Amino acid sequence: MKGLERRHGQIVKQYWAPPISVIHAVDAVLETRWKEAKCGRTRKKCDEMGTWMICGFCSDLCGEEMILIELAGTANSLQFLEDEDVPHFCFVVSGRTKSNRSSGAKFELPIARVTRGTSLQPGKWILRLVKYIRSKRRTTGRLFQRNLDPPLPFEFQDDFFSVLEFIQATTDLIPAEKDLREEAGILRSLRQALTDHHRNMQVPRHHLRPLTAGTRSKKVTRLIM
């Protein structure tokens, strides 16, 4: 799809959606970088990107919603990672989103510790990130917090593309001719990737509806097939 043309000649392109093979490669690259890191700052960046890209893929959140994730509520939910029935944690999102315009509103998105079928481990990355943040004595604010308050997605953009560009340069999973910074994006690529993955796995359309309509429910656990 080349894009849609709006008034005034603006071209709106569809974001490239990384296939599940690339998501697994992201996990592997970040795990290697995390183990080889020689300082806490480098590990923190790995923790952030692991949480943003792996947990973000599993949660169906777009980039603007990722920066609305609360630290305290999300950290409190880590107790459910040891749940006997369905080990999980919750992204607690507060603030106005596309599907929720009420000021001060919150919703929770449960995410499995380990996904079925694809065997991604979002629980590993959220545990590492929260542990690092707590070691710095921060207990409030947003989960993703760097220099700006409130945080903005562009603060994490270079790290996001750094991982994808490394995979492009070292594997054949991403075509060499693809301009990632032009065709992909931190705001929508992961959300599109999850939707495409569900379709490839032939998940029934009525199960896809919450993903495409942007509805949120405390009762829905994101278990990727």
Query: Quick count: other Cβ atoms within 10 Å of Cβ 204?
Result: 8
| Interatomic CA distance for residues 159 and 135, integer angstroms | 22
Please tell me the pTM assigned to this model. 0.80
From first to last of the 225 residues of the chain, give the pLDDT tens digit: 445 444 445 555 667 888 899 999 999 999 999 999 999 999 999 999 999 999 988 888 888 889 999 999 999 999 999 998 899 999 999 876 555 555 556 888 999 999 987 899 999 999 999 999 999 999 999 999 999 988 999 999 999 999 999 999 999 999 999 999 888 888 766 655 555 545 554 555 544 444 333 344 444 434 433
Tokens representing residue 215 in the block = 């509805």
Three-class secondary structure assignment of 139-207 = CCCECCCCCCCCCCHHHHHHHHHHHHHHHHHHCCCCCCCCCHHHHCCCCCHHHHHHHHHHHHCCCCHHH
